[in-house]
Structure formats: structure tokens, C-alpha cells
Structure 1
């Protein structure tokens, strides 16, 4: 097990809930929308039904929070980021994405991190629909980076020609967020 836990992390059996501000009121399935925009050949707006019609996967991964906790063997179900990427038709100039969420939350990622195996837009965790506190109805999951990169309450995806800071990076968090390198803060 030690090779699964990054430096200065402590394993928890719980699932702490951390975010800035209050949990947003998200639209129901009939009104939920996901915008794909930026440097793409096919900008579009997906409905909840459109998103759920995409291929689905189930992964089990460890998550690591910048605050020092790690939770092992979390099972996520959702749409792989690669399936959404295929819909977009990314412009060759795009090197990064900004995943947008409610309440102006956002997470910046390189395309390499966004498309890494195991990355998905999750709708369920450990066999249950995501609760609003954990980012429901849908959140990004990027298991290879600190958990703040797994944006909650997702509403869209923007392809960029250069990386720019997301919500937490504008507040002092590291631009990349690799837990094995302890890329916590600037």
C-alpha cells in the first residue's frame, strides 16, 4: 500500500467534503446543459440525455486531496473524457482545456492529463448517484492529479491554445497538481 500513497498524505475511510462557498443548486436533468467550446471544430451544447448516450465506463482509483487525505479504491461511473473529446473535434492548436463548473469553479488541465486513462465525467460514486456535496449531478475525475483538479458541478469544457489558471490556481494552488511531486501551491 505505501506505493499508492503520495508523500505527506494520510489514508481516510471517509469521504471528506471540501469546497469554497455553498453547494450550488444545479438544474435537473431536463434543464442541465454542458457546453463544448473554444478551439474546436464542432462546438455544441449537450443535454443530460446526450451525455448519458455516450459510452460509459466504471473505474476504481485512489484520490488524493491537497489538504493531506487520500481515499483508496473509489469506484466511479461516467463518461470517459476521451468520448467527449471525440465529439469536440479539437483544433490542432489546442493544448489545454478549462473545465467549467457552477459558481465560477473551473479546472485547467493539459490535454495529456485530460485524456489520460481513467479520466471521466462521473455521475456515480461507489454505486450511488453523485450527491450535490460531491459535485452532482456530474463532476470531472482526474485520478492522477490532486483532487481539486476534479472539478465539481461541471457545465462545460473550453479548449485553449495556452494554459491559464483555473479557480484554485488563481488562489495560489499549483498550475499542474501532481500529488507524487507534491505540487500543492505556487
Structure 2
């Protein structure tokens, strides 16, 4: 059965049951889609893998930069997970490949004062995430989706993947991870989106 109809609240839970999904798999207020909607702030920035790099810095003892080939040489992890957008769509059983964020942070040796991380992206987009949330097994620096390199519309060459938060926290076009001692709001957080972004408690907006 194609999962295309809007499934909100109780209706969503009933439809999920008909589809044989586990109870409670769809967060409140979400609908299921088989498509992968494209939502981006600004235009897709150009990139060149020969000059591309990812910087890990801030409240760390050993800041460093990874070139693309160095990132690809690290241990790669493939996961299958559900993703949930604040615009109310959810997509189930998505498959991603990349490097666990906790591995790159461990190499940088986060200081005891490090408690939050700001993701900086090409195009000027930023979003903030608690450090603890980035240490989960399913949080990746993702460069493949569905077994293929990320499409440009979905954040190529690299995006953050934080499945337990609304999808704006999974920043596209990632270029820096800045470890911070105090929280600082990113682009959408400064424009009214909830700092927490928990789909299960519908932390969509501050108001």
C-alpha cells in the first residue's frame, strides 16, 4: 500500500495500525510520505570535493580539519531510521551511510566545558544541538542516502543526521562542528523554531 494520505493525530495512529506499523512509531501531528520533500534555506551551494573540508573546533583540546578523502577513510556506518520534519511529514525506514559524529568528536577531545554544538554550513545556515544528543549511535555525518551519494537537494556532499530531532537539526551542506560551552541558537531557532526540536512532544515553535 502506498503511504501517501495525510495521517494526523488519532487518524495517523489508526492508519499506522492498518499498515502493520508498531504503535507509537509516528510522532503526534505527523503524516507519512514515500517521497523525500526538499526544503532548503537559500540556494544549493556549489562544492568541490578536491578543496572541501570539515572543521571540528571550539571547546576541544585538539581541533582539526578533515579533507574528503580523510573522511571517507574513517569507519563508515549504515543505519536505517525514521525521519520527521517540523512541516509535519515523516518518512520511515530511510537508510543512511556516514561517520558517527561521536567518533570525530572523540578525536578532537572535547573539553569538560563542552556541552553544545553548532553546525555551520555552506550558505550560512546554522543549527544548534546539545552535545549529548550527538553521541547516540544513529547520529551521523551522512554522505549517502539509500546506498547512493547524497543528492545536492538533500545536502551533498555531507549533512548532519540527527533522527531523534525534527529534521531541520539535520543540517545540510555541513562544513563545521563548533563545540560550545553555552547554548547559542541557530538560524531557525532565532526565527521562532523551538530549541529542543523533539518530535514526540511536538517542540515545533516557541509560541
Q: Shorter-normalised TM-score: what interval? A: over 0.9
Deviations 1:124-157 (Å, cap 9, x if unpaired)?
A: 0001100110000000000000000000000011
Q: Give unmatched runs, 5+ long, in structure 1.
A: none
SS of alignment partner, residue 127 of structure 2 = strand
Q: CA deviation at 1:116?
A: 1.5
Which residue of the partner structure matches residue 204 of structure 2? 184
Could you list the structure 1 runs, at least 4 aligned residues long, displaced by more than 6 angstroms after superposition: none
Q: Structure 2 length normalisation: TM-score? A: 0.87
2:108 to 88, 105, 114: 88
CA contact (8 A) 2:113 2:181 kept: yes
- Say yes or no: does 1:33 pair with 2:53: yes
Q: CA deviation at 1:44?
A: 1.1
SS of alignment partner, residue 140 of structure 1 = strand
SS of alignment partner, residue 168 of structure 1 = helix
Aligned residue pair count = 185
**Larger Rg computed on CA atoms:** 2
CA contact (8 A) 1:54 1:83 kept: no
Q: Give unmatched runs, 5+ long, in structure 2.
A: 1-20
- Say yes or no: does 1:61 pair with 2:84: no
User: Aligned partners of 2:90, 2:73: CA distance in 1, in Å?
Assistant: 32
Which residue of the partner structure matches residue 9 of structure 1? 30
Instruction: Report matched runs for 1:142-181 at 5 Å.
Output: 142-181=162-201
Superposed CA RMSD in Å reads 0.8
Greater relative contact order (CA < 8 Å, ≥ 6 in sequence): 1
